[in-house]
Amino acid sequence: MRIATWNVNSITARLPRLLAWLESSGTDVLCIQETKCGAEQFPAEQLRELGYESAVNATGRWNGVALLSRVGLDDVVSGLPGGPEYDGVQEPRAVSATCGPLRLWSVYVPNGRELAHPHYAYKLRWLEALRAAVAEDAAGARPFAVLGDYNIAPTDADVWDVSVFEGGTHVTEPERAALAALREAGLSDVVPRPLKYDHPYTYWDYRELGFPKNKGMRIDLVYGNKPFTEAVRDGYVDREERKGKGASDHAPVVVDLDL
């Protein structure tokens, strides 16, 4: 069974590439972030023609998440139970469902913006709510994983130059402590094999030739419980999908399971 996560940075802009990638990659379940559309604009029919059911949590031009599955889609929960609001709204940043033998979440963790910005405190509250919401499934016997754009680099090795991020978000101790709390709840970081490069980055800024110079970050993560991680047989970052015209600034992270 093949599952993946991909921040597409607008499903409307990326739809031709997404459809082609689904056909060529053999992916059974895909977690999507940053749909940047309302639910009524989500291309559910085009995806259904490829055999994928869709669970969508999207409300407009910002944020938005989805789960696509061709192995079943049941018990859908839209949103983060107990999650905080920002500017009076619970943003569309989480959706979960049972896909065949798996229970999966697609999450888009708040960016945080700047350390002194209210969005950073919101990010930490959101991550605490995530830990509380997934704790029961993380400790359970069913394979379970939380996939998505975490907007956190787990270690200094997961950014191209940690000095560039000094005093900024994505690398701070409180953010990394939130990842540690997920691990304490029973989830493990499934790290893709690096292939050509030493570190399997998943995001490269569009600016300043970030991708050609491999100035990247590993912020798209797969956190699975013990039954999930024991079933993992392979994992990789599909860097090819970051290349060329019309690419997202993130690449898909793919995990193969023997279930």
* Residue 198: per-residue pLDDT: 76
In the set 28, 52, 108, 120, the catalytic residue is 108
User: Closest Cα partner for 8 from 70, 51, 77, 66?
Assistant: 66
Rounded average pLDDT over 94-112? 98
User: Judging by beta carbons within 10 Å of its beta carbon (0-12, 13-18, 19+), is residue 154 exposed, middle or buried?
Assistant: buried
Task: State how far the alpha carbon of 195 is from the alpha carbons of 65, 205, 207, 234, 257, in Å.
Answer: 28, 21, 24, 12, 19
* Residue 147: per-residue pLDDT: 98
The letter for the amino acid at 23 is E
What are φ and ψ of residue 208, in 5° steps?
55, 35
* Residue 123: per-residue pLDDT: 98
* Residue 193: per-residue pLDDT: 86
- Binding-site residue positions: 7, 34, 149, 151, 249-250
First to last CA, the chain: 7
Rounded average pLDDT over 156-173? 96
Quick: pLDDT tens for 7-43. Answer: 999 999 999 999 999 999 999 999 999 999 999 999 9
- Binding-site residue positions for Mg(2+): 7, 34, 149, 151, 249-250
Is 250 known to be catalytic? yes
In the set 120, 199, 220, 250, the catalytic residue is 250
**Structure token digits, residue 191:** 């790290």
Is 238 known to be catalytic? no
pLDDT band at 194; cut points 50, 70, 90: confident
In the set 120, 122, 137, 149, the catalytic residue is 149
DSSP E strand boundaries for 25-155: 29-33, 53-57, 65-69, 74-78, 94-99, 102-108, 144-149
User: Closest Cα partner for 220 from 107, 122, 132?
Assistant: 107
Domains of the chain: 2-257 (3.60.10.10)
- pLDDT cut 90: percent of the chain above it: 96
Residue 61 has pLDDT above 90, yes or no: no
Q: How far apart are CA 71 and CA 6, in angstroms?
A: 18
Is 149 known to be catalytic? yes
Q: How far apart are CA 50 and CA 22, in angstroms?
A: 8
